[in-house]
């Protein structure tokens, strides 16, 4: 049986900045958790990982997103949502949220050549309440 191809979705946010990216990551993480999907959030630094960790507890009243930071001395994560950095990461999980400016070294996917790619009609801005497209 052939492994399934990775699906990659890119999101263009209406508001620029790190805060907007982190808030969107929280909403996307909450949606994935609600769909019983394990998530790995890959941050660019320990500081950004701390910010995401705190924000996942407070971004929305009534929200509960069980998560944990990956640390060097504890390799086994127990929570369905894991937060890591380039120094301490997990290549496991069904859903990767990459908050770095580069593709993580542990991620591999077959991507079409840029020459064969054709731009498509711009999508509508995502609604915060809309369902996320998550594929196992």
Could you tell me the CATH number of the domain that includes residue 97? 3.40.50.10110
Give domain status of residue 127, yes or no.
Answer: no
For the sheet with 39-42, list strands across it: 67-69, 81-84, 39-42, 95-98
Give domain status of residue 98, yes or no.
Answer: yes
| Per-residue pLDDT tens digits for 15-60 | 888 889 999 999 999 999 999 999 999 999 999 999 999 999 999 9
Mode of pairing for the β-strands spanning 39-42 and 95-98: parallel
What local confidence, expressed as pLDDT, does residue 26 receive? 95
Mean of all residue pLDDT scores within the chain? 77
User: Which of 12 and 122 is assigned the larger pLDDT?
Assistant: 12
Helix (H) or strand (E) holding 97: strand 95-98
DSSP letter (8 states) at residue 41: E
Give domain status of residue 109, yes or no.
Answer: no
What local confidence, expressed as pLDDT, does residue 108 receive? 66
Three-state DSSP class for residue 64: coil
pLDDT band at 123 (very low <50, low <70, confident <90, very high): very low
Give domain status of residue 115, yes or no.
Answer: no
Max mean pLDDT among 65-69, 76-80, 115-119, 120-124 falls in: 65-69
Mode of pairing for the β-strands spanning 81-84 and 95-98: unpaired
Domain range for 33: 18-104
Burial class (CB in 10 A: 0-12, 13-18, 19+), 97: buried
Structural domain tally of the chain? 1
């Amino acid at each position: 049986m052939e492994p399934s191809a990775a699906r990659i979705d890119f999101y263009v946010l209406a508001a620029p900045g790190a805060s907007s990216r982190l808030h969107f990551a929280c909403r996307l993480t909450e949606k994935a958790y609600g769909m019983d999907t394990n998530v790995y959030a890959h941050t660019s630094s320990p500081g950004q990982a701390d910010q995401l960790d705190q924000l996942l507890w407070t971004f929305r009243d009534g929200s509960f997103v069980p998560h944990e930071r990956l640390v060097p001395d504890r390799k086994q994560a127990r929570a369905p949502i894991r937060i890591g950095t380039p120094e301490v990461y997990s290549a496991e999980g069904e859903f990767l949220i990459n908050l770095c400016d580069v593709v993580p070294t542990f991620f591999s996917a077959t991507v079409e050549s840029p020459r064969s790619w054709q731009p498509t009609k711009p999508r509508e801005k995502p609604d915060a309440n809309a369902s996320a497209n998550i594929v196992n």
